Amino acid sequence: MAEQQTQEVIITDTTLRDGEQTAGVVFSQQERRQIACMLDEIGVQELECGIPAMGRAEQDSIRALVDLGLNARLMTWNRALISDIQDSLHCGVTAVDISLSLSDIHIEHKLKKSRKWVKEQLRTALSFAKRHQLYVSVGGEDSSRADMDFIIELLQIAEQEGADRFRYCDTLGILNPMTMFSQVQQLAESTNLDLEVHTHNDLGMATANAVAGIMAGARFASTTVNGLGERAGNAALEEVVMALKHSCALDPGIDASRFTELSRYVGQASSRPVSPWKAVVGERVFSHESGLHTDGVLKNPENYEGFNPSEVGLQRYLVLGKHSGRHGLEQRLLQLNCAIDPHEVNSLLTKVRDFSQTNKRALSDQDLLNLCAIH
């Protein structure tokens, strides 16, 4: 792997805000606290934890998180309205995201306003927030469909009014990594503000786009556990962290060894079970069946594993099925303390392959023991 780079990357997790906006997902108060604590314990630096303008119940939930005294900075999501920011102040948070729609299609067809109105709202809301000593991220909703000159104009206003960073949102998940890189690079050259990338997975590129944004100069990557979020979801925390570490030589300083534990908990709490083949944290993503691959892994795991499964709290599985080879079968027999004449292994392997093909599945340990008994 390439030598670790020195660029600082900060993970901001929005499982408790955008993640809970997944259709049908509701976390209990205890689940919200547990998720926040687990994210904090593994070193996630910032948690976007809710929308105070939703009402008293949401505000109480956010205050409960503030009372935990976490190391992570807690941030709330707000419209560019003073009333929203006042609700956040009452919750006791020290950081807010002030969101504005930036694309002309949103400004005209959602807000029924003008670009001039958006600029005025930004000045008013941002100046109010900074007067109250809040850390402010200016959230650019639908940035990926907005006019770049208009975004840069807003960045200049944000700098003048004391904003701390700008959130570039690919709200509809329509970008590809090359375009994301180009856009963020242009913004990075146009402002002194820290940049954040907030990506959605509608075309299956949320993680790739988040990584591209970081490589282009963004300092913050917005994520959710398991990629929860509106429609097809957001960039997955576990995928972004491991991609940055192993593909980009950038270490965000997150304890990945608890990723599987965290993923399972959020999967259960959200009633969205984690697929066994989910990238990075799926229970079976380190499974090997093919004879050539199994042989290679037995000789040296690095032959077919980009990182050690224990790094994310998983373990390796050697699967017996249609494509298995002799070495994989011998290893499984050894694990089961099942003695067999070496000259009979090839014959047993034929039965293993036939069983798998007939039953359209891999063999369990008991299946193998049964075959051995009648062999």
Q: In the 3-class helix/strand/coil scheme, how is 290-309 assigned residue by residue? A: CHHHHHHHHHCHHHCCCCCH
User: Other C-beta atoms within 10 Å of 214: how many?
Assistant: 27
Range of the domain at 63: 10-269
pLDDT higher than threshold 60 for residue 132: yes
| Mean pLDDT, residues 260-275 taken together | 97
Q: Determine the Cα angle at 45 with ends 26 and 312, to 5°.
A: 75
Contact assessment for residue 74 and residue 88, using Cβ atoms and an 8 Å cutoff: no
pLDDT of residue 328: 87
Q: State whether 104 and 184 are in the same domain.
A: yes
* pLDDT of the residue at 289: 76
> Residue 25's pLDDT band (boundaries 50, 70, 90)?
very high
Instruction: Looking at the structure, tell me whether residues 238 and 307 fall in a common domain.
Output: no
Residue 101 lies in a domain: yes
State the CATH number of the domain containing residue 72: 3.20.20.70
Q: How many distinct helices (H) and strands (E) make up the chain?
A: 14, 10
Please state, for a pLDDT cut of 90, what percent of the chain lies above it: 82
Is residue 57 within 8 A of residue 28, CB to CB? The reply is no
As a whole number, mean pLDDT of residues 211-231 equals: 98
> Exposed (0-12), middle (13-18) or buried (19+): which is 304, by Cβ within 10 Å?
middle
Please, what sign has the CA dihedral across residues 38, 39, 40, 43? positive
The structural domain count of the chain equals: 2
Q: Which of 324 and 156 is assigned the larger pLDDT?
A: 156
**What pLDDT does 332 receive?**
87
Model confidence over 70-102: pLDDT tens digits? 999 999 999 999 999 999 999 999 999 999 999
Together in a domain, 24 and 72: yes
**Residue 293: pLDDT over 90:** no
Does the structure show a pLDDT above 60 at 2?
A: no
Q: What is the mean pLDDT of the chain?
A: 94
Average pLDDT on 36-57 reads 98
Q: Is the pLDDT of residue 52 over 50?
A: yes
DSSP-assigned letter for residue 30: H
Residues 6+ apart with CB under 8 A from 282: 274, 275, 276
